[in-house]
Structure 1
Amino acid sequence: MNPVIKKILIANRGEIACRVIRTAKRLGIATVAVYSDADAQALHVRQADEAVHIGGNASADSYLRIDAIVDAARKTGADAVHPGFGFLSENAKFAKALHDAGIIFIGPGIKAIEVMGDKIESKKLADAAGVSTVPGSPEAMENADQAFEVASQIGCPVMLKASAGGGGKGMRVANTLDEVRDGFIAAQNEARNAFGDDRVFVEKFIEQPRHIEIQLIADSHGNCIYLAERECSIQRRHQKVIEEAPSSFINEATRKAMGEQAVALAAAVDYQSAGTVEFIVDAQANFFFLEMNTRLQVEHPVTECITGVDLVELMIQVAAGQPLPLSQSDVRINGWSFEARVYAENPDKGFLPSTGRITHYSPPDTRVRNNGAYTRVDTGVDAGGEISMFYDPMIAKLVTWAPSREEAIAHMRNAIDAYRIRGVQSNLPFLAALFAHPALLAGDLTTRFIEDHFPDGFDSHSFEGDAFEALPLVAAWIEWRTRLRDRKIVNAPKVARSSVMAALGQDQESLSNSNRGSDESLSVLQGDSRYDISMNRLVGIDTDWQPGDWLFHGTVDKKVVSIGVERVGNWWRLSQGGSTRDFMVLDPHVADLADYMPEKKTKDMSRFLLSPMPGLLMKILVREGDKVSAGQDLAIIEAMKMENTLTASVGGTVSKIVAATGDSLAVDAVIIEFE
């Protein structure tokens, strides 16, 4: 008799916990959240029916504590546990502990987790199951010399990859044989520190590769189907940034071949649950097995959007012993979907993590549009929530669906422009720039997309979005609209009626008949540029924007735009399509004097290495008395599960090491002083 699941404990946090809770509630299943000290007021805690505290801030003290989570499930009477992704989702010991406690694990069997979690063993199994694999050694290398020999046989470039690796850790590319030995040692050291397992193997590095994966779902009755593919080629530091389904590169024949191989691999380990088989695909559409993830993927929403299935619901049904409600012939691809990962990081400063409290949060409209297009936002935060240094910096997954790829991209661009997050920095400007790039529009993707197209990084203050030229006009318009509001509230200086009406896009007759004076134009200052804008020019603006609104939506000279608006002191900060600019709007006679204003001098901090973020100081790479050059690595800080290397901005001599390895650093904490 199949068990009936009545209560699910979600052994995770953030957006994936909220995602599982949403489906469970729809199915009438009670939910239990677990939380650390840092997450006591988190959204997933508030959305669940019950919540249990499991430990301190660090993952090792909370979300990775098998004993605490199993105990929480027992105490609350949860019959099942959904692990989400990350943390314990692919931990065979966790699955066994739940089995021993008589609690259902909403995931695959222990054998599948163990075999697929080992990259070397999974590759051997894939070979045996007839799955196409990348040329290379099936065994871990004993030392750097052996890695050199294998690389010599298969030819460079090669990938040196940790067997227990993940998230980009323990991976190095050697483009020449001279780089193999050092790359092997670096991958081995990183794998040892990150996973406690320093086994490294060597395989051929596929040039111009695409990262394409097959979503599958299998039950305990011998049924296994694949739900098309996802393209996950746009990555940064081996972390996916944008995903889409289906892939614009894969044809039906290749899709079928990849899907059938993925199903064959699942059958080889008696797989039961949702899983993903990842492939690397070359320019000729040859595909090779990369790894299998025995869990729900971060990017699963795009598959749900194009197939109409709820993967979490299917996982629950399979875990309860029910057969899949659909067969392979029932799977249809409908439309196109994109997912953009919204991270708390500052793309203008090398994507440094950004921590703190979210003071304002307004996601884009999720209502269905006339063409059927819609936006989906999977998030675990809201206004007042905190982005902590202890966990992954993901704020949300922004997902769009539309009938065609072009429409889905256009819908995504509008959704990004409409997304407002304040209190922490986000990568929204960079996402806007990615979705505006001609190569993405053409589907010309590789895993080196960001390195190739943004080799010098990204700066929203120099990037020009598609509505960049309209920003000064909008700055002038919102200044006049604000002055009108202020005039109604306080005794503001007299403002000519014609100018005000022009600023509001109204009363063009009185504008054209009025006498032109200094109050009939505005000067907009931005950096070294000045724009003198006649009130006539503003008549082409049509919007219902009001002072205080975060988003300016309307038309400028009949072009539809959505522009973020923020007041920063005497400046207007406007953002659109990846562009961010600060404008000061003045009367012309005041702007004439701006060049004579003294500039505020900033304190020279080049003598110090400061921590750019809260984090843990993992390592100091220099000693007192060392001479360093500009660009040299100085220290490593860990924040939000990522290691960040700090470099010297100028050359000098280390006079004092202020911080010590293991210190918890605040923003702008001094680490090193220079002479």
Structure 2
Amino acid sequence: MHYSLPKYVYESGDNMHLATACTHAQLKRLRGGWCSREKMALLYILRRGPLLSRCRGSLFARSIYTTDPFDPKEPMFKKVLVANRGEIACRVIRTCKYMGIKTVAVHSDVDSRSVHVLEADEAYCIGAAPSNQSYLCIDAILDVVKRSGAEAVHPGYGFLSENMDFAAKLTEAGVVFVGPNSKAISAMGDKIESKKLANAAKVNCIPGFDGVVKTQEDCVKIAQEIGYPVMIKASAGGGGKGMRIAWNDQEAVEGFRISTEEARSSFGDDRLLVEKFIAKPRHIEMQVVCDKHGNAIYLNERECSIQRRNQKVIEEAPSTFLDPDTRRAMGEQAVALARAVGYDSAGTVEFLVDEHRKFYFLEMNTRLQVEHPITECITGIDLVHQMLRVAKGHPLRMKQAQVPLRGWSLEARVYAEDPYKHFGLPSIGRLHRYIEPSHIPKVRCDSGVTEGSEISIYYDPMICKLVTYGDTRDEARHTMLQALDAYVIRGVMHNIPLLRTIMGEEHFVSGDIHTGYLPQVFPHGFCSTPPSSHFVVLAAAVYVQDQLNACKFLDDGDTLEANLWSVQVATKDTKVPVTLSKLNGGKYCAEVGGQSVEVVLPEDLSSPLLGVHVDGTEYTVQLPQRDFAGTMKFLFQGSVVDVTVLTQEAAEFLARMPEKPQADLSKVVGAPMPGLVKSVAVKVGDMVGENQEVCVVEA
């Protein structure tokens, strides 16, 4: 099935639209004189140009515009300002360009060379790097709206997307807020008030205390009345912040203190509520779209149960758990709640679902959700397009019975994080090598970075939302495995090893998941799996090929090296002897553990992605570091493996060498991640004991 290129503009991870609409106006201005921003835009196209020819292969089999296509005759905004950065700003800009809408980007001083700045038609600096001096500065954004002549503002997600004051001020200024009205934002933005409204709309709610918990004593008393365990969480919260589970009175006191501090620092609102904690629930949400004419539909569910620290890691649509009756009931309750608050945009109603498929209202997000692409994949509906239509005042053109559910989609959030520390602590640095796997069919990469981009301490460390689609869940999962193996990220640590491991883990494969999945499957934290025999012979073959490529030749053409190699492959915990003989080309025969294994390597080992075959099985591996002494770092099936390959003779000599003593770090206290020291509880000369608080670092 073939569709014309423009329909797929934003689905390609290679920012295809920049080449087709980057824009023509900018290129025309180049004739009149060079400016720094236009230079950067042109350089950006040239740098990524070689990838564009491969974009057709990465497109989904089904156009996202098929279900409710864009109508060019429909009145629409001429210019939209995107009040955000990174991936979501790029996402909104691409749909705007497809619809013929000019776009305005805003940026902090450290984001001046970011991708969203280059993709927009205009860009304005609004302040310094800290969010409260730029992306959260309402007055600065309103000033740019006025200067640019933008008719509407799309807030994306995060930052000011759920700020009722921002929405209200835009309305007062005669500018359209591409999102719900400020009253709906206010009603659903407060967890306490939203729960009261949900009860009134006959939406299933978690048992708990509907008022504000004011003191530690109140918290303990309410928790005892509800019955442990309970969830203590911020009323104005989101993103997993200001949430603590308490299993007894002591944990309730501590949870109240920590949640209050987090809520105050993150949201400027320290009000808390307490409700029953549901053990091992699934987190399933319903996407709704409502217009200004009383029409409302739900676009089926997304399952977001794979989480760390109450933040989503992997999402999928539909859920493996819901039956048609439960799906319908959840969707109807989501629509009922949206109608009750006069909702008029795209939004998401989140539920917790227990093992008996009983579901309970959690919260409503009054914005475009991070994981919206998977809904677009299974319904064929562009949610940004719908938000713009609704904001312009157009009615929905689709009835509930017309909403399709086709195939399966998975989304993996690729973060600049160290997955081996608490399932992911942020990593900062520059992407000195970056290649998205968008050449793979049915893969979508929603990102806001490119090679050379900086991952800083100031913003969320998300690199990309990697999305796959298939007719079945298994097809989408296998495509995801392939895409994760082919994703090249150098310069920062990333969580691809964790994502890759989850995709092949038996509980995930069977759909047996819940919000406690990660600590259940990895009770001692995430760690790489031991290298397989296939990896061992692969490492040995790479070493031998490197050595052969480095050999000098005698005058008569004979090589200095023998055709039979005996080597030792050493990882952190294992040392395995391997014997290899070179056949023709990049083909080797290896003997390991009494078995004969054939290995086929590409002749060029310098490529960022290596397609290899071991015993007939094809693998995509990465070799970011290696030297001719046999020290190498592999990315193999989601594992990062440091390996040393030596000849048997060299290994025997090494075994006789004295080991270098390890540095004593027992008295060194280091922060696990970049952050801000909020308080210091000790002073120089104090004696400290085990588990005593030394300082508090916020990140």
Coarse TM-score class (shorter-chain normalised): 0.7 to 0.9
Distance 2:421 2:253 in 1: 32
Q: Does 1:471 align with 2:544?
A: no
Distance 1:300 1:489 in 2: 59
Distance 1:73 1:366 in 2: 37
Q: Does 1:250 align with 2:250?
A: no
Distance 2:239 2:672 in 1: 23
Distance 2:558 2:485 in 1: 35
Query: Pick from 371, 386, 392: which aligns with 2:460?
Result: 392
User: Is the 8 Å Cα contact of residues 501 and 638 (structure 2) preserved in structure 1?
Assistant: yes
Instruction: Using structure 1 for the length normalisation, give the TM-score.
Output: 0.86
Query: Pick from 366, 370, 374: which aligns with 1:294?
Result: 366
Give 1:177-188 correspondences, 5 Å limit.
177-188=249-260
Distance 2:638 2:683 in 1: 41
Give 1:550-629 correspondences, 5 Å limit.
550-569=608-627, 570=629, 571-629=631-689
Distance 1:494 1:566 in 2: 31
SS of 2:589's equivalent in the other structure is: helix
**Offset at residue 355 of structure 1 (A):** 0.5
Structure 2 partner of 1:480: 544
Structure 2 partner of 1:216: 288
- Deviation digits for residues 360-417 of structure 1, max 9, x if unmatched? 111114442xxxxx11111111110000000001111111111111121111111111
Q: Does 1:196 align with 2:268?
A: yes
Structure 1 partner of 2:493: 425
User: Is the 8 Å Cα contact of residues 553 and 560 (structure 2) preserved in structure 1?
Assistant: no
Greater shift in the superposed pair: 26-35 or 604-613? 604-613
Gaps of 5+ in 1: 369-373, 500-518, 644-675
SS of 1:456's equivalent in the other structure is: coil
CA distance 1:520–1:602, change in 2 (3 Å):
closer
Residue type of the alignment partner of 1:227? L
**Offset at residue 583 of structure 1 (A):** 2.0
Residue type of the alignment partner of 1:578? G
CA distance 1:598–1:32, change in 2 (3 Å):
farther
Give the RMSD, CA atoms, in angstroms. 2.2
Structure 1 partner of 2:41: none
Q: Does 1:530 align with 2:596?
A: no
CA distance 1:271–1:479, change in 2 (3 Å):
same
SS of 1:57's equivalent in the other structure is: coil
Distance 1:423 1:623 in 2: 37
Structure 1 partner of 2:232: 160
**Offset at residue 146 of structure 1 (A):** 2.6
**Offset at residue 244 of structure 1 (A):** 0.6
User: Is the 8 Å Cα contact of residues 537 and 578 (structure 2) preserved in structure 1?
Assistant: no
User: Is the 8 Å Cα contact of residues 337 and 400 (structure 1) preserved in structure 2?
Assistant: yes
Distance 1:576 1:31 in 2: 41
Give 1:84-163 correspondences, 5 Å limit.
84-163=156-235
Residue type of the alignment partner of 2:516? R
Q: Does 1:75 align with 2:110?
A: no
Distance 1:329 1:212 in 2: 21
Greater shift in the superposed pair: 613-622 or 292-301? 613-622
**Offset at residue 142 of structure 1 (A):** 3.0
Distance 2:266 2:336 in 1: 31
**Offset at residue 531 of structure 1 (A):** 2.5
Q: Does 1:451 align with 2:523?
A: no
User: Is the 8 Å Cα contact of residues 108 and 129 (structure 2) preserved in structure 1?
Assistant: yes
Distance 2:608 2:694 in 1: 40
Structure 2 partner of 1:358: 431
Gaps of 5+ in 2: 1-72, 582-587, 591-596
CA distance 1:174–1:612, change in 2 (3 Å):
closer
Distance 1:84 1:624 in 2: 47
Distance 1:596 1:383 in 2: 44
Aligned residues: 610
Distance 2:687 2:75 in 1: 67
User: Is the 8 Å Cα contact of residues 545 and 553 (structure 1) preserved in structure 2?
Assistant: no
User: Is the 8 Å Cα contact of residues 464 and 578 (structure 1) preserved in structure 2?
Assistant: no
Structure 2 partner of 1:346: 418
Give 1:652-663 correspondences, 5 Å limit.
none
Distance 2:559 2:364 in 1: 67
Query: Pick from 482, 493, 498: which aligns with 1:414?
Result: 482
CA distance 1:488–1:391, change in 2 (3 Å):
farther
Instruction: Using structure 2 for the length normalisation, give the TM-score.
Output: 0.83
Residue type of the alignment partner of 1:603? A
CA distance 1:89–1:479, change in 2 (3 Å):
same
**Offset at residue 306 of structure 1 (A):** 0.9
CA distance 1:187–1:525, change in 2 (3 Å):
closer
Distance 2:638 2:682 in 1: 37
Structure 2 partner of 1:655: none
**Offset at residue 489 of structure 1 (A):** 10
**Offset at residue 22 of structure 1 (A):** 1.2
- Deviation digits for residues 284-342 of structure 1, max 9, x if unmatched? 11001000000001111111111111111111111111112322111111111111111
Higher relative contact order (CA 8 A, sep 6+): 2
Distance 1:494 1:19 in 2: 58
Q: Does 1:541 align with 2:599?
A: yes
SS of 2:213's equivalent in the other structure is: coil
Residue type of the alignment partner of 2:565? E
SS of 2:209's equivalent in the other structure is: coil
Structure 2 partner of 1:635: 695
- Deviation digits for residues 152-172 of structure 1, max 9, x if unmatched? 222111111211111222211
Q: Percent identity?
A: 49
CA distance 1:629–1:435, change in 2 (3 Å):
farther
User: Is the 8 Å Cα contact of residues 366 and 376 (structure 1) preserved in structure 2?
Assistant: no
Q: Does 1:18 align with 2:90?
A: yes
CA distance 1:490–1:228, change in 2 (3 Å):
farther
